Chain A
Amino acid sequence: GNSVTQMEGPVTLSEEAFLTINCTYTATGYPSLFWYVQYPGEGLQLLLKATKADDKGSNKGFEATYRKETTSFHLEKGSVQVSDSAVYFCALSDPQGGSEKLVFGKGTKLTVNP
């Protein structure tokens, strides 16, 4: 079945550090890939997405590239801020999975210290 594996957190960084959160996936078909962010006390928000191989999703300084050969969609940011402290979820939607349900990873908690 389809699955998403994220690096386990928590991740703690200093402000302006480089961020990478690893995400790999297993899918029967050719999925769309997503990163969601959840700030404390809020719902999940779509951060970025990519729908085909080699696509790069980007938003708010975050980027992720759809790598079909390595089945990965790692999230990166060059210089994190305190306001980026949140939980990040990788997810996929597989047209061959039989439904439009998103499959989520378990989430990675990021804390950025000043």
Chain B
Amino acid sequence: DAGVIQSPRHEVTEMGQEVTLRCKPISGHNSLFWYRQTMMRGLELLIYFNNNVPIDDSGMPEDRFSAKMPNASFSTLKIQPSEPRDSAVYFCASSLGGYEYGYTFGSGTRLTVV
């Protein structure tokens, strides 16, 4: 299995531009999570899906952020418009679902907004 695949690995964009991050979860995993990691705030859960349905988006910072999961093999996290304070590493993770399995994380997308 190729694991959780995220793209791009690195993204540099100008303030005000739209940014789209992509994630392909492990086949057969029912749950998908988007995290943001910064030095100041550590790991933050932004949103999670179960069976392609958003379950909890309470961590999404503001309306500039949106996430979709149109099918079981693909999810996107979009920031529009982007701001310098959005600079962070964004991780996607997937899970079989349930409380015993833990998550498998992707390698992350390092976003820099200038």
Contact = CB atoms under 8 A, between A and B. Distances in A.
Interface of A: 31-32, 34, 36, 42-46, 49, 51, 89, 91, 93-95, 99-102, 104, 106-107
Interface string B72-114: 0000000000000000000101010111101111111000000
B31 A100 contact: yes
18 contacts: A31-B99, A32-B102, A36-B105, A42-B108, A43-B105, A43-B108, A44-B93, A46-B102, A46-B103, A89-B43, A91-B102, A99-B48, A99-B56, A101-B45, A101-B56, A102-B103, A104-B42, A104-B43
Interface of B: 4, 31, 33, 42-43, 45, 48, 50, 55-56, 91, 93, 95, 97-100, 102-108
Contacts of A36: 102, 105
A99 B104 contact: no
Nearest to B4: A43
B102 A101 contact: no
B25 to A, nearest CB: 13
Contact of B100 (A32, A45, A101, A107): A32
Contacts of B95: 100
Nearest to A47: B102
Q: Which 4 A-B pairs have the closest CB atoms?
A: A43-B105, A93-B99, A44-B105, A95-B99
Given A31-B99, A44-B93, A102-B103, 18 more contacts: A32-B99, A36-B102, A42-B107, A43-B93, A43-B105, A43-B106, A46-B104, A49-B102, A93-B102, A94-B99, A95-B99, A99-B56, A100-B50, A100-B95, A101-B45, A104-B43, A107-B42, A107-B43
